[in-house]
A and B are shown apart, each in its own frame.
Chain A
Amino acid sequence: MLTIEITVNGTYQQIQTAPNRSLLDLLRDDLGLTGVKDACGQEGECGACTVLLDGKLVNSCLVLAAQADGREVTTIEGLQQLERLHPIQQAFVEAGAVQCGYCTPGAILSAYDLLMHTPHPSDEQIREALSGNLCRCTGYTKMVAAVHHAEKELSHAS
């Protein structure tokens, strides 16, 4: 076992963990952050476990928990402020971009990362940004619309 220091959604914690565990397992099993999903069997293929590690988008199944030592993690649970959804989350709901919802947290974090770096993305940039998040329900079109919707909300807010 080893002890890691990690800040998750703004909260600093010390956690004991086995050295061979993924960050995904740590977030889900130890911290109860079940908005982080596994859809491919921890192979890095589906993007359902997407989180931000020091502000960078990663598949948390491909990161060892130990590699997150001393770093900051943001999961879907950290995106909303109190009871209000983040404008990107709200846009996904309103645009009909959520169906079964299993890929939704990962896709929203990918959209968040895109809009942080590219406030006014093209359709092509959005599709590229979402291309690591498999979705079997929506056909992605309403997700692209949701990102544009969020883009407008965020630019009004700033």
Chain B
Amino acid sequence: MPPETITIGKSEARKDGWTKASGQALYVGDIPIKHVCIGAVLRSPHHHARILAIDPSPAQMIPGVVAVITAKDIPGEKIHGPLVQDQPVLAMDIVRHMGEPIALVVTEDKTAAEKALAAIQVEYEPLPAVFDAEKALQPGAPQVHPGGNLLCEYDVSDGDLQEGFSQAEVILEETFQVPRISPAYLEAESSLAYFDEDGTLTVVVSSQKPFDDRHHIAMTCGLQDEQVRVKSAVVGGAFGGKEDSELHILAGLAAWITKRPVRFLNNRWESFLAHPKRHPATLHYKLGAKADGTLIALEALVHMDTGAYASYGPAVGGLLTEMVQGAYHIPNLRVLTRVVYTNSPYSGAMRGFGSPQAHFATESMLDILASRLAMDPLELRRKNILQPEDHFFTRVQVGDTARSLPLILAHADQARQRLRQLPAAPGKQSGVGFALSLQSMGLGHRVPDDSTNRLEWSPEGRLIVYLGSPELGQGMQTAVEQIAAETLGIPYQIVDTIDVDSRISPNGGVTCASRMTYLLGNSVILAAHKLTEETLNYAARTLNLPRAKLEYRLGQVILPDGRQMPVSEFCGRAAEDGIVLGASATFSFPYPAERTPEHLPIGMPHMMHAFGANVVRVEVDPELGTVEVKDMVAIHDVGRVINRAGVEGQVEGGAVMAMGYALYEDVCLKENQRWVDSFTEYLIPTARDIPENIEVILLELPELSGPFGVKGIAEMGLVPVAPAIANAVFEAVGVRARELPITPEKIALSLVEG
């Protein structure tokens, strides 16, 4: 039993729940602001075209139009990009994907905006386009960027592949395909720019990284970072998709040029076409094993379509490469991953960041091998799971986190046996499948991965957290408040968080990579210790006692005679003296030397990991080919539960999101050469589609460097689900899905073809 806690582990209600449930929460689109102009974007109707001429003058004549802005009006940098500077703020001579921004209109009302967009004259020369990563690398393929279509390549090896395959008694080769999917957060991208009370350009963003947005906005406007203020609004979901600054740059630019307040709200189709998605990929695997199921060699060749711009493609390619190994010891392993430009809408960060793609292939491949060897898929995995003393093929040591794997397998086995007892509905065939998962936390070795946060006592003795990273809806703010409350020994109810505002907030870093509760939690614990010290120093001065005679406990200052004085008394006095009792602290992601060998075949491997599993029971209609997920058991090692309902919500939400990946979602090019770009055609799971039973089993094997033992949990719930469903479908009807989504057509066709 964990020790008695004040708030850790409890399902505290999130503090923004009241405003959200009552409709009072202010997202970017809801913020009342006088005389705000409408900002709208003219977007490319072509996949690939040369721009011969742009004539904004017909639009400028329309009543209500304040300005029409094109690339030539940009005062600063005209190109941006989070990792690679390859993306024009507004297209200049060429457009590389449908939906690419070409011009902005700033108008006084919606009607004028529609008319103005229609009136801008653009002359295009359409160019041949390519939408497939492998085709884009062939000679003669249309060139998306002058430097060629290969954005980057990872080639990472361990062991001796040839030797490995020579020892193999079974060799399998398979090709898997995974689709492009949209994060499909309910609040599409949005940004509001205006001038604050002292005339500073201020941009209110729905974003995972306001401080980086500020930098990109400043660069584009030809300003210093400090000349731009960014504030975080309530964010309506992000899932990685709000790590790109595009719309914030456009809003900042439009306000800077027009000197008017301007609001940009992407429509849903704009979110589909002009904001990052999960990378589609083709994964070719060659796997060698002994007859007893021991894995001996794996060679994987991966092509990822990153679309027209790099976004986070290079980093996603790196993590996908790392994740191919999954939870298994494979002594001879080579992964070659190519991240390729095409004329597709661009892909970038999305929850899992390459891991879901790799896991679909790896975990499907293991079941194919089990089937070939007539082995139980769970026994096959048990034979090959990583041990703490193993190292990943990146040479990073696996460490203690692997102790969760035998427990996860035991839970999965129990769940599997229980679900196999359940009967199928009449006319349906039932199958149970499962998959293991590996997910990293943090940005990777040597990548600066720091977070600074600040705590202050308010004059009435409440604790104020100045969080330097935005809450996206996932509940990190609640977790951090609980960690702060527990550390200082005060009730969760008296902790308040201030949303990110670059004028008053420290820079806490980008909210991403399953690292926030870990990173912010550690930073807040350090700040809490400093705050305690500062409080005692102030108390000693006020009481004219030596500091060493005072102690702090549970929100009280303990005097030498044992009497207690609440901190609030000192906060009030300090406020009267004009003193703020506060402390900031920075926590940096640790890269312990003993776990990192000198030679790292992939430059910045991830150093911390957690494991999990998903077990599902599906019912397949053999005539219609439809798949229903009826039962699900999600098993994850989370290190330590900070907020139980919050962790369950992350796991459940991730799992249901992954059902969409497995069964429905695909941002594909239709026969009419347009992309799927609306919820009419792009179906995400509804309440009717979810399993009747979802059980979440949380294991707590502490991460010793984590606050209270925390591991990152935001992405892992999603990772094992798609292969678990594919494996269950195979058990139900004997159809092996090598391609997502597993649509009824594909199953029915396979069954007909036998």
Which residues of A approach B to under 8 Å, CB–CB?
Answer: 32-41, 43, 45-46, 48, 75-77, 79-80, 85, 89-90, 92-96, 98-105, 108, 123, 126-144
**Contact partner of B23 among A46, A105, A126, A141, CB < 8 A?**
A105
A94:B13 contact, CB within 8 angstroms: yes
A130 to B687, CA, bound (A): 6
Contacts of A32 in B (CB 8 A): 32
A136:B684 contact, CB within 8 angstroms: yes
Q: Does B61 contact A (CB under 8 A)?
A: no
B186:A103 contact, CB within 8 angstroms: yes
Minimum CB distance partner of B686 in chain A? A131
B653:A99 contact, CB within 8 angstroms: yes
Q: How far is the CB of B45 from chain A (nearest CB, A)?
A: 17
Q: What string of 1s and 0s marks CB contacts (under 8 Å) between B238-276 and chain A?
A: 010000000000000000000000000001110000000
Contacts of A85 in B (CB 8 A): 18, 21-22
**Contact partner of A41 among B237, B656, B678, CB < 8 A?**
B678
Contacts of A41 in B (CB 8 A): 267-269, 678
Chain B 176-209 residues near chain A, CB threshold 8 A? 183-188
A98:B17 contact, CB within 8 angstroms: yes
B186:A39 contact, CB within 8 angstroms: yes
B645:A136 contact, CB within 8 angstroms: no
Minimum CB distance partner of B651 in chain A? A139
Q: Does B690 contact A (CB under 8 A)?
A: yes
Minimum CB distance partner of B19 in chain A? A101
B679:A40 contact, CB within 8 angstroms: yes
Q: How far is the CB of B20 from chain A (nearest CB, A)?
A: 3
Q: What string of 1s and 0s marks CB contacts (under 8 Å) between B650-690 and chain A?
A: 00111111000000000000000000001110001111101
A97 to B27, CA, bound (A): 18
A137:B692 contact, CB within 8 angstroms: no
Stretch at the interface among B424-432, B472-480, B541-549: B472-480
Contacts of A108 in B (CB 8 A): 21
Contacts of A90 in B (CB 8 A): 21
A140 to B694, CA, bound (A): 11
Contacts of B23 in A (CB 8 A): 33-36, 75-77, 105
Contacts of A103 in B (CB 8 A): 186
B18:A99 contact, CB within 8 angstroms: no
A137 to B14, CA, bound (A): 15
Given A33-B23, A127-B687, A139-B653, list of 10 further CB < 8 A pairs? A41-B678, A45-B678, A92-B17, A95-B645, A99-B475, A102-B473, A103-B186, A139-B649, A139-B654, A143-B687
23 contacts between A and B (CB under 8 A): A35-B24, A37-B27, A39-B268, A45-B678, A93-B17, A96-B14, A96-B646, A99-B474, A99-B475, A100-B185, A100-B474, A102-B185, A102-B237, A105-B21, A127-B690, A131-B686, A133-B687, A136-B183, A136-B653, A137-B237, A139-B657, A140-B686, A140-B690
**Contact partner of B186 among A79, A100, A127, A132, CB < 8 A?**
A100
Contacts of B680 in A (CB 8 A): 43, 45
Contacts of B645 in A (CB 8 A): 95-96, 142
Contacts of A142 in B (CB 8 A): 645, 648-649, 652
B649:A138 contact, CB within 8 angstroms: yes
How many B residues are at the interface, by size bracket?
Answer: 35 or more
A128 to B184, CA, bound (A): 21
Which residues of B approach A to under 8 Å, CB–CB?
Answer: 11, 13-14, 16-27, 29-30, 32, 183-188, 234-237, 239, 267-269, 472-475, 645-646, 648-649, 652-657, 678-680, 684-688, 690, 692, 694
Q: How far is the CB of B188 from chain A (nearest CB, A)?
A: 7
Q: How far is the CB of B169 from chain A (nearest CB, A)?
A: 42
A93:B18 contact, CB within 8 angstroms: yes
B21:A104 contact, CB within 8 angstroms: yes
Contacts of A43 in B (CB 8 A): 268, 678-680
Contacts of A127 in B (CB 8 A): 687-688, 690
**Contact partner of A92 among B21, B30, B236, B652, CB < 8 A?**
B21
Contacts of B237 in A (CB 8 A): 99-100, 102, 136-137
A108 to B16, CA, bound (A): 16
Q: How far is the CB of A128 from chain B (nearest CB, A)?
A: 6
**Contact partner of A80 among B16, B22, B473, B656, CB < 8 A?**
B22
A123 to B691, CA, bound (A): 11
Known pairs A96-B11, A99-B653; A48 contacts B186 (CB<8 A): yes
Minimum CB distance partner of A89 in chain B? B21
**Contact partner of A46 among B29, B646, B679, CB < 8 A?**
B679
Q: How far is the CB of A8 from chain B (nearest CB, A)?
A: 13
Q: How far is the CB of A39 from chain B (nearest CB, A)?
A: 4
Contacts of A99 in B (CB 8 A): 237, 473-475, 649, 653
